[in-house]
Structure 1
Amino acid sequence: MKKILAFCGILILSVLCFACANQSTTSVTTTTTSNSTSSLTNTYSTTETIVSIQPAYEVLVVPVGSTFTLQYVSNVEPIGFSSSSPEILSIDVDGSILGLANGNCDITLSYQQTVYATIHVTVVDDVAIIPPQKTIYKSGEVLNLFGARLILRNDDNLVIEEVPITSQMTSGYQPDETGTQHLSISYLGKTYHMDVLVLSAKQEASLATDFILLTQSPSAYQRVEFQLMKYDIDDFLEAIDNVYDMEEIVLKATVLTPSTKVETILGYWSQTYEEVHLPGLVSTSRNLEGLVTTLPDDITFGLNYVTASDPCFKMRYLPKESGQYQMVAELYVDGIKIQSFSKEFTVNASLEPEKGDIGIDPSNERHFQFENGDTYLPVGQNAAWYTSQDRKYYDYVQWFEKMADSGMNVARIWLSAWGFSLFWYDVENYDRRQTHLQSLDRVIELAESKGIYLQICLLHHGMFSRVVNPMWPGALNSWYVDKYGANPYGETLTSPGQFFTDSWAKATFKNQLKYLVARYGYSDHILAWELMNETDWIEEYNASIGLLWHQEMANYLHEIDPRHLVTTSFRNDSFYSSTFNVFQLESIDFVNVHRYGVEKPLSYLPAYQKIGANLFDKPILYSEFGLKSSGSEQLTYDPDNITLHQGLWGGLMGGGAGTSMNWWWDSWIHVSDAYPVFAGIAEVAHELDLSGDEYQLLADNPQLTISHAKVQAIGYRVDSRLYAYLYDTDFSLADPQTAEKSGVTLIMEGFLPGNYQVRYLDTSTGVIREQTLVVIPLTGSLTLFIPNFSNDIALILEQI
């Protein structure tokens, strides 16, 4: 008798064992006249030939590359083996099998040309390991292979066999050795591998008890919040070096939306505080940068924060669809996933239509556009920081209320050293900034509730300057440092210019970006991230090095937050300076410039916006613009806000992405209640649809003529729509009330014939002064008879 047994190898082979069709075993008995010379384990009759495969295979599934030897029993020798397709599977004289290629074949066992057994074999090269349910272990735990199996599939990707993985097949597990362990799985002569993790003490201390949904009854376009639950917070904080270092510990989640879109979000470490209001405690002398007002409508209480609960990891997400969501949250420590949680939640439909995120209008590349296709034209101002140390973010409650009442829809805010900065006091640990960040939470929530979109400036020049608003250690003028402290980057870097080149500085700033995106990137009321304010005020800023830094950081921001626009800013509009090459970068989405000392915005803005937009082929926004260098000086020089009015209209109707944006929000706009100046342009901006196949600035249209020599028009023609702002060229600070003009006509060619409606609007209020029907003849020539006006008038023409 010959008996050969083989299972050398690893993973899985599927073996289907069946009885032969016509007999219960593959033993065959025949009559013979001679005795076998084989050595037999059992005694057989010399009148019988016995050939038997043990076990009795009818169908065998073999992975490519696996080797094993058939086991058989015979009382005769020699037994012959053959494969019907040697290119698929080979078998040698001892019955040793080798899988070579995908396919099917037959193996036969024969003696003296008589076939005694046939096995149908399928060879597959698609073998997958399904890991056990438990792959992460605390030190000393016993390996648990429950659920582990090998999956074998054929060419049609159909599962032919599933083989449970047993402890006899597995080797390499060391329960007291921490780290990732590569286990070997042997099956049919082939070795496969799977990984398990034995946690380090730090990783074990980081394990959470649950991941919960905090938001009750989520709705589309409303923030949804989650929290990672942990009871032994003290042990965790002792084990982790820095909870804010997302290379050391990070919470990530993958979300599958009802429409099967896959989104990725990050968690952030947060300390929550309760607010304590202190009635009557608002002092005008306790100001940060700027003026603390105590007007009759101003908030009169101070704000203090009291710790509300243990700190924890949270996660924010903005669902944009109604329906069932699936989420998998994963916790990583030192780059290793140590825990995962699955979560399903249902989102209700939004009660009203939502616009979505803001991007660039692809039809003209000069304006912003909501996700739903509507034009977004920013009308607003800077409100860079709260000025009252007592009221804190409640300054924004009173500012945003007034802004929203006047139709304003944008504010530019800074993460200033004395306000919302993430890293002031400590570059890598943000514990001391958590109250400031909760204030920023509330400001963003206020903006969302008031329809105000935020351009968030992440850094400002003074942080890295020794001269201009200097906050770098050792500055000659120590006023800012004495009041707010020095830039903590100066504790490591020897000069501010190193911030743009040093690998540690760039890595820490990227970590700050990741934290900010994790905490605030959910919001669809963020217009843009602005990398730095007026970067070129920094003495050691270099245009070529700065270009590389902006490219790296803007690319990184787009990578971790593909939803929001990215820009930066400089102190002037010297477009041809090498500094402005930054705006050639694809990752910088729009041109963002500043200019002061402009007395005639209606002539200045259309001209310069045209240069900037054409040069960089991007939208252009004057996010700081004005006449004087202080709010009080501005009020004295221009008490009727002529330059403010003209800057708003010249920016928005003169080819800009929006209105120009004033500074001195506290000591000019709020203290004098100049908010109504924005009402007229805000009302008109709401009516403009600048997306279309045919887009043209009126200043570039040679077919436009106006009958009055002193009247000019700026605005847009988009398809069959006309949006125009007409003004007297004498209208200025020197002549704030020009003579009334009558009988002015506007003629323009190239319109489609048909019926149109024209509305003439008051530029101060946005109220319709007159509305008439206009019929354009087959010639396509439009003639408008403008109502009498003095300084300016706006019109909207649309086909009906």
Structure 2
Amino acid sequence: MLIGCVKERETGNFKNLLVITQNPTQYEKVELALYEKEPKIESEGNPYDYHYFKVIGEFKAPSGAITTIPAFWYQHYEISLNRAYTLPPIGYHGVASTNPDEPQGMQMVQAVGSPHYRFRIKPGESGEWTYTLTVYRNDVMQETINGSFQIAPSTENYRGVIQVDPTNNRNFSYKNGDTFIPIGQNVAWYTSSTRQAVDYDVWFKKMNENNMNIARIWLADWGFALHSGVSYNNFASRYGALARLDYVIDRAEEYDIKVILALNHHGQFSTITNPIWEKNPWNEDNGGPCKTPLTFFRDQQVKEIYKSQLLYLLARYSYTDEILAWELFNEIGWVDNYAQSSLLIKTWHNEMANFIKENDPYHHMVTTSDKGKISINYSLQSLDFSCPHSYDYGQKNVNGNVPEEIDSVYNLYQKPVLYAELGINYLNGALNYQADPTGISVKQGLWSGMMGGGAGGAMNWWWDSYIHPYNLYQVFKGAGIYAQMLNMNGPGYEQLFDVDEIEINNPFINLMGYRFPDRIYGYLFDKTWAHYNYQNIIDKNNINISIPFTDGEYRLTVYDTDSGEVIKSEDLVVSNQVA
């Protein structure tokens, strides 16, 4: 809607900027639309190319703080689910749910109105905001547009964007200092050919009900990718994919799910591993500028083209606090000739990560991932945390190994470690279910990741063919509840594994967790317990533990790791520095 009545501009190529968000409010998304007087931009060039045409907005808060962000070319749409469509779905690179108790039908995306420029911002202050829009064509300034709008105050206890916790460099925290512990899973793409992005309504609802707070999503070629189909740099044919991505981000906000958004995946630039280079529009055989996959990382002109895509994504999605991080690549180590070109690709990562940091007005984190636990790219200061991947836990004890591996990765790169993929089988979800029908390995990955020195719980794959069809979401519940109790902020971070004086009266029991000067968080576990031998585990009772700690009066609370419920809570007096 238009706020107020303003005389139309007499000069320039654009009409007045419209505030289309009803009742624009502090800490909420505010959308603004900029229409041409006569539509020329799209007919005379590529509006997704920021060197051809761009509009840069400077939005000044009442305090004088300025948010600088580009506009993005936008096609409005209406999105709906046609429940009258009853043909069964086909699985898109996964298993499609046909559960009649879930929403089923055909998701429809219908373009509405004419393309135009949009801004999306999240005002941090209430009051009168002013703006200056600067219009460039072929990198030459053409005109400026000035105006103002009002932002209503919010009563929200706003915590801000999530960053690396500066007090320990191991965890994440909101801008206000509150700890954020990720507990969730990969939901990399929708798998239903019919309801499509409505998959995320179902998954996110289940995740929210079980205290999950993180999802990892790819811009997959068969899903949300911008460079897919007919063009590598013009996304006019992808407005349906972008509409669905908007829809998913809105659902993430509704269900309070943070998102790691993987911007590229290895198969797009591989002829060997999950290869789709043959149909990649960047490929010169398809009219693109890249003779080989490595051209994407080497050629400076190609890199400048890709930066337009990054600007577009930042313009469209940086407003949301639900973005935990921009992940430059999924498993970069699988792209063609990676071993011989790792330094080149490291340079590419540094250039793109710094470009994002220079142009993201809300300062989200940046990361990448490799095909294993370590990567030369994680040594870059421009990447905020590491994302190890491992599927070698088929016959390995998760609790016994994950903390050691987290420590080894942290010692290499000195930044938070979040296992973004951890599993017992990389082939399919059915084999995971056969080996671990109750999700023991998933639960152990969550707790060992959260309590063993990591930034959060390890994230599973096979969301569509393991977690969802067998309704294993309850595995996350206890970890999700406990994660909300953790306060990792402040000095004195120490892992319980490193405290030599801890005593436990049973050799089969161990303890992982953290000691701070005024609090202890601990996870007690059976060292022999694993998904492959759980039937043989014998109950162990009457466990006594002593932990060196500061004398004083404390509250001891014991939680059920499955349900998250409190088993008991009692006062505890520490004397002689032993709890």
TM-score by length of 1: 0.68
2:291 counterpart SS class: coil
Residue 610 of structure 1 pairs with residue 407 of structure 2: yes
1:556 counterpart SS class: helix
Match of 1:747 in 2: 546
Residue 588 of structure 1 pairs with residue 383 of structure 2: yes
Q: How does 1:78-157 map to 2 (within 5 A)?
A: none
1:680–1:765 Cα contact (<8 Å) kept: yes
Q: How does 1:663-742 map to 2 (within 5 A)?
A: 663-736=461-534, 738-742=537-541
Q: Distance in 2 between matches of 1:317 and 1:622?
A: 31
Match of 2:18 in 1: 212
Residue 534 of structure 1 pairs with residue 331 of structure 2: yes
Match of 2:312 in 1: 515
User: Post-superposition shift, 1:284?
Assistant: 4.3
Q: Distance in 2 between matches of 1:450 and 1:232?
A: 41
2:404 counterpart SS class: helix
Q: Distance in 1 between matches of 2:524 and 2:154?
A: 40
Structure 1 residues 53-76: Cα deviation after superposition (integer angstroms, max 9, x where no partner) = xxxxxxxxxxxxxxxxxxxxxxxx
Q: Distance in 1 between matches of 2:234 and 2:22?
A: 32
Structure 1 residues 131-186: Cα deviation after superposition (integer angstroms, max 9, x where no partner) = xxxxx998xxxxxxxxxxxxxxxxxxxxxxxxxxxxxxxxxxxxxxxxxxxxxxxx
Residue 271 of structure 1 pairs with residue 69 of structure 2: no
Find 2:357's aligned residue among 546, 558, 566: 558
1:566 counterpart SS class: strand
Query: Which amino acid in 1 is paired with 2:114?
Result: D
Q: Distance in 2 between matches of 1:231 and 1:584?
A: 49
- Structure 2: gaps (5+ residues): 1-8
Q: Distance in 1 between matches of 2:492 and 2:127?
A: 38
Indicate the RMSD between aligned Cα atoms, in angstroms.
1.7
Sort the Cα spacing of 1:282 and 1:417 in 2 relative to 1 into closer, same or farther, 3 A: farther
Structure 1 residues 488-533: Cα deviation after superposition (integer angstroms, max 9, x where no partner) = 5653322111111012221111110000000001111100000001
Q: Distance in 1 between matches of 2:304 and 2:10?
A: 32
Sort the Cα spacing of 1:585 and 1:410 in 2 relative to 1 into closer, same or farther, 3 A: same
Greater CA drift, 453-462 or 417-426: 417-426
User: Post-superposition shift, 1:455?
Assistant: 0.1
Residue 419 of structure 1 pairs with residue 217 of structure 2: no
Match of 1:524 in 2: 321
Q: Distance in 1 between matches of 2:128 and 2:182?
A: 35
2:167–2:489 Cα contact (<8 Å) kept: yes
Residue 227 of structure 1 pairs with residue 25 of structure 2: no
Q: Distance in 2 between matches of 1:286 and 1:658?
A: 34
Greater Rg, structure 1 or structure 2? Answer: 1
Query: Which amino acid in 2 is paired with 1:442?
Result: Y
Sort the Cα spacing of 1:137 and 1:443 in 2 relative to 1 into closer, same or farther, 3 A: closer
Q: Distance in 2 between matches of 1:606 and 1:384?
A: 25
Query: Which amino acid in 1 is paired with 2:345?
Result: G
Sort the Cα spacing of 1:381 and 1:489 in 2 relative to 1 into closer, same or farther, 3 A: farther
Structure 1 residues 408-446: Cα deviation after superposition (integer angstroms, max 9, x where no partner) = 000000001111101112111110011100110111111
Match of 1:773 in 2: 571
Q: Distance in 2 between matches of 1:396 and 1:627?
A: 25
2:89–2:193 Cα contact (<8 Å) kept: no
- Structure 1: gaps (5+ residues): 1-135, 139-203, 474-480, 783-800
User: Post-superposition shift, 1:321?
Assistant: 2.2
TM-score by length of 2: 0.94
1:284–1:291 Cα contact (<8 Å) kept: no
Residue 341 of structure 1 pairs with residue 120 of structure 2: no
User: Post-superposition shift, 1:335?
Assistant: 2.1
Higher-helix-fraction structure: 2
Find 1:404's aligned residue among 208, 225, 241: 208
Greater CA drift, 537-546 or 582-591: 537-546
1:756 counterpart SS class: strand
Percentage identity across paired residues of the two chains: 35
User: Post-superposition shift, 1:746?
Assistant: 1.4
Q: Distance in 2 between matches of 1:446 and 1:548?
A: 35
Residue 432 of structure 1 pairs with residue 219 of structure 2: no
Match of 1:620 in 2: 417
Q: Distance in 2 between matches of 1:664 and 1:651?
A: 18
2:213–2:257 Cα contact (<8 Å) kept: yes
Match of 2:159 in 1: 355
Structure with more relative contact order (C-alpha pairs < 8 Å, separation 6 or more): 2
Greater CA drift, 317-326 or 593-602: 317-326
Q: Distance in 1 between matches of 2:255 and 2:81?
A: 23
Query: Which amino acid in 2 is paired with 1:572?
Result: G
Match of 1:641 in 2: 439
User: Post-superposition shift, 1:280?
Assistant: 4.1
Query: Post-superposition, which runs of at least 4 consecutive aligned residues in structure 1 deviate over 3 A?
Result: 282-285, 485-491
Sort the Cα spacing of 1:392 and 1:231 in 2 relative to 1 into closer, same or farther, 3 A: farther
Structure 1 residues 181-232: Cα deviation after superposition (integer angstroms, max 9, x where no partner) = xxxxxxxxxxxxxxxxxxxxxxx7xx10211111121112210010102242
Sort the Cα spacing of 1:750 and 1:276 in 2 relative to 1 into closer, same or farther, 3 A: closer
Match of 1:365 in 2: 169
Q: Distance in 1 between matches of 2:281 and 2:87?
A: 26
Sort the Cα spacing of 1:395 and 1:268 in 2 relative to 1 into closer, same or farther, 3 A: same
Q: Distance in 1 between matches of 2:211 and 2:303?
A: 39
Aligned residues: 561
Residue 251 of structure 1 pairs with residue 55 of structure 2: yes
Q: Distance in 1 between matches of 2:110 and 2:376?
A: 47
Query: Which amino acid in 2 is paired with 1:644?
Result: V
Q: Distance in 2 between matches of 1:375 and 1:722?
A: 15
Match of 1:310 in 2: 114
1:252–1:264 Cα contact (<8 Å) kept: yes
Sort the Cα spacing of 1:280 and 1:730 in 2 relative to 1 into closer, same or farther, 3 A: farther
Q: Distance in 2 between matches of 1:489 and 1:674?
A: 44
Residue 546 of structure 1 pairs with residue 350 of structure 2: no
Query: Which amino acid in 2 is paired with 1:220?
Result: Q
Sort the Cα spacing of 1:731 and 1:237 in 2 relative to 1 into closer, same or farther, 3 A: closer
Q: Distance in 2 between matches of 1:331 and 1:287?
A: 44
Find 1:387's aligned residue among 191, 205, 212: 191
Sort the Cα spacing of 1:750 and 1:305 in 2 relative to 1 into closer, same or farther, 3 A: closer
Match of 1:570 in 2: 370
Structure 1 residues 227-265: Cα deviation after superposition (integer angstroms, max 9, x where no partner) = 1022422x4433x31111111111111122233222211
1:356 counterpart SS class: coil
Query: Which amino acid in 1 is paired with 2:15?
Result: T
Query: Which amino acid in 1 is paired with 2:265?
Result: H
Q: Distance in 2 between matches of 1:513 and 1:688?
A: 34
Match of 1:19 in 2: none
Q: Distance in 1 between matches of 2:79 and 2:526?
A: 52
User: Post-superposition shift, 1:582?
Assistant: 1.2
Greater CA drift, 344-353 or 279-288: 279-288
1:340 counterpart SS class: strand
Find 2:453's aligned residue among 655, 659, 670: 655
